[in-house]
């Protein structure tokens, strides 16, 4: 089963996600310019939301960083290892994951490691302290024994610093290339260890790799992980997140020209302390994300039903409520969504982005506003696709939460479709005019909606038994 989230969210002036020039991100869709928020910004906001609000424990979450060598070094010192030896042990642990480490102690790319995986690596170091101590001491001794390299003498007639900018740049580029080559040579350099010690270290490196078991890594299960040189530890993400796009045309960003006043100015002193410009826009976004139950529960979390339920509930809430932090101190625009539509499908995934292939028109805005028009467009698109594809679309349940109920007429009409009449949340109410009955959509609050989704996705799977439980 797949869980689809279709969200409409309108923002006052803001700059949630900017490009390299500081402008709000944009794109062309339907050949019209639109405001855009990248999926990376949305996923980052969701991860932070889950962590900051304690929706999952720290042991179930992860960190993405290039600084794990430094982090392991600090933790090893705390665990009682000699400070001089810790960098060598940490280096070994990180290199065991087949990722290169630069002279600045940064990994070649961002590693996504869970807290429980990091804890297991530290525990392995403690359990094999004597082996690692001997390994690190061998490296310290080899380093002290190595003779310092003498600086090469400049070639005759080439001892001066290049004068032109182009020549200077070329020299820097050459230096960078040489540094990179030196780093690679250093990575490849092997310290000759006694045979027995080398055998123990090789075995320990395998155990470091096995520590990456992912059994408790909720956010890695949700967003996936790729280790380029250790593919057996990769995970396919259970979720897909689309770039949010505006439902209407946003032709260009606006500029906020600002001045900052000098507080210590003397009486009569003219002029501002600082002036500048900040770009912003205002847009109603269509956001789409989906989650695969099979990938999350069965493949990534080893059928741990309890953790899968809490992970699903936590990230559904985060996908709905989290807002990117870009320029929030300047614009303070944490506007909640106006509509959250959930579709549970057994069939193929189905974005409703084409509801806005033609942007919301001025006529629509004047009649229903941007948000109201967007809700009507979205529900009409859902109705059209369900009518066209019927059971092929695989919709098993349709649930909605909104603060704009006056625009839900099309939602109730979905019950006219034979394959959806028992899968739509609606009820019959007495009509005021002729005394007959008419359909009314059941609108959930967001907490009710999330709980309903979790209950529908995990109706029968038993909770895992605690060890020793009868």
What does the pLDDT look like over 168-201, one tens digit per residue?
444 444 444 444 444 544 544 567 888 888 899 9
Do residues 288 and 308 make contact, with C-beta atoms less than 8 angstroms apart?
no
**pLDDT (tens digit per residue) in 444-468:** 999 999 999 999 999 876 555 544 4
Per-residue confidence at 159, pLDDT binned at 50, 70, 90?
very low
pLDDT of 158 higher than 50: no
Annotate 23-47 with b (16+ C-beta within 10 A) or e (fewer).
ebbbeebeebebbbbbbebbbbbbb
Q: Give the whole-angstrom CA distance, residue 124 versus residue 209.
A: 11
The pair phi, psi for residue 102, each rounded to 5°, is: -80, 175
Long-range contacts of 384-392 (CB under 8 A, 24+ apart): 385/350, 385/352, 386/414, 386/417, 386/419, 386/420, 387/417, 390/417, 390/418, 390/419, 391/347, 391/419, 392/347, 392/348
Q: Give the whole-angstrom CA distance, residue 70 versus residue 88.
A: 11
pLDDT for res 122 = 95
pLDDT of 318 higher than 60: yes
How does strand 239-241 pair with strand 62-65? unpaired
What kind and span of H or E run contains 42? Answer: helix 39-52
Annotate 324-336 with b (16+ C-beta within 10 A) or e (fewer).
bebbeeebebeee
- Interhelix angle 86-95/195-210, rounded to 10 degrees, is 60
Q: Determine if residue 327 is left, alpha or beta; phi over 0 gives left, psi from -120 to 50 gives alpha, anything else beta.
A: left
Q: Give the whole-angstrom CA distance, residue 323 versus residue 340.
A: 15
More confident residue, 393 or 206: 206
pLDDT of 42 higher than 80: yes
Structure-token pair, residue 36: 């855009």
pLDDT of 66 higher than 70: yes
Q: Give the whole-angstrom CA distance, residue 360 versus residue 373.
A: 7
How does strand 395-402 pair with strand 339-345? antiparallel
In 10 A of CB 354, how many CB atoms? 13
Per-residue confidence at 273, pLDDT binned at 50, 70, 90?
confident
pLDDT of 152 higher than 70: no
How does strand 284-292 pair with strand 2-10? antiparallel
Per-residue confidence at 150, pLDDT binned at 50, 70, 90?
low
Structure-token pair, residue 295: 């990938």
Q: Give the whole-angstrom CA distance, residue 332 versus residue 330.
A: 6
Q: Provide, rounded to the nearest whole percent, the portion of the chain with pLDDT above 70.
A: 87
More confident residue, 183 or 131: 131
pTM (2 d.p.):
0.83
Mean pLDDT taken over the chain? 85
pLDDT of 265 higher than 80: yes
Distances (CA, A) of 332 to 11, 24, 242, 289, 449: 10, 15, 24, 25, 27
What kind and span of H or E run contains 403? Answer: none
pLDDT for res 167 = 40
Q: Give the whole-angstrom CA distance, residue 239 versus residue 43.
A: 10
**pLDDT (tens digit per residue) in 51-65:** 999 999 988 999 999
Q: Give the whole-angstrom CA distance, residue 289 versus residue 240.
A: 6
């Amino acid at each position: 089963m797949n869980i689809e989230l279709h969200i409409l969210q309108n923002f006052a002036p803001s700059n949630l996600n900017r490009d390299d020039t500081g402008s709000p991100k944009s794109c062309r869709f339907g050949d019209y310019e639109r405001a855009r928020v990248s999926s990376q910004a949305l996923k980052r906001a969701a991860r932070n939301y889950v962590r900051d609000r304690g929706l999952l424990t720290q042991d179930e979450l992860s960190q993405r960083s290039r600084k794990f060598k430094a982090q392991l070094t600090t933790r090893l010192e705390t665990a009682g290892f000699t400070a001089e030896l810790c960098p060598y042990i940490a280096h070994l642990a990180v290199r065991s994951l087949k990722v290169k480490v630069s002279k600045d102690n940064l990994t070649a790319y961002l590693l996504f490691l869970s807290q429980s995986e990091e804890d297991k690596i530290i525990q392995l170091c403690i359990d094999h302290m004597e082996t690692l101590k001997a390994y690190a001491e061998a490296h310290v001794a080899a380093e002290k024994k190595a003779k310092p390299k003498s600086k090469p003498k400049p070639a005759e007639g080439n001892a001066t610093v290049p004068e032109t900018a182009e020549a200077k740049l070329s020299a820097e580029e050459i230096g960078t290339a040489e540094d990179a080559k030196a780093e690679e040579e250093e990575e490849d350099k092997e310290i000759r260890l006694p045979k027995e010690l080398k055998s123990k270290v090789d075995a320990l490196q395998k155990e470091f790799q096995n520590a990456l078991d992912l059994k408790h890594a909720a956010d890695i299960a949700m967003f996936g992980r790729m280790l380029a040189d250790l593919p057996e530890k990769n995970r396919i993400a259970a979720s897909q997140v689309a770039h949010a796009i505006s439902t209407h045309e946003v032709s260009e960003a606006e500029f906020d020209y600002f001045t900052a006043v000098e507080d210590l100015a003397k009486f009569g002193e003219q002029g501002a302390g600082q002036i500048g410009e900040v770009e912003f826009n205002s847009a109603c976004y269509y956001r789409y994300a989906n989650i695969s139950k099979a990938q999350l529960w069965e493949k990534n979390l080893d059928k741990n039903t309890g953790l899968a339920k809490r992970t699903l509930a936590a990230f559904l809430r985060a996908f709905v409520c989290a807002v990117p932090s870009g320029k929030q101190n300047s614009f303070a625009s944490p506007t909640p969504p106006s509509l959250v539509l959930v579709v549970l499908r057994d069939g193929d995934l189905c974005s409703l982005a084409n509801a806005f292939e033609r942007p919301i028109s001025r006529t629509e805005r004047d009649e229903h506003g941007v948000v109201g028009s967007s809700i009507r467009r979205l529900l009409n698109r859902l109705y059209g696709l369900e009518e066209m594809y019927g059971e092929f679309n695989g919709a098993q349940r349709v649930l909605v939460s909104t603060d704009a109920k006056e625009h839900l007429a099309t939602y109730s009409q979905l019950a006219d479709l034979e394959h959806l009449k028992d899968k739509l949340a609606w009820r019959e109410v007495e009509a005021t005019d002729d005394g007959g009955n008419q359909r009314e959509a059941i609108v959930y609050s967001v907490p009710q909606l999330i709980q309903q989704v979790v209950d529908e996705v995990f109706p029968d799977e038993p909770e895992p038994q605690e060890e020793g439980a009868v």
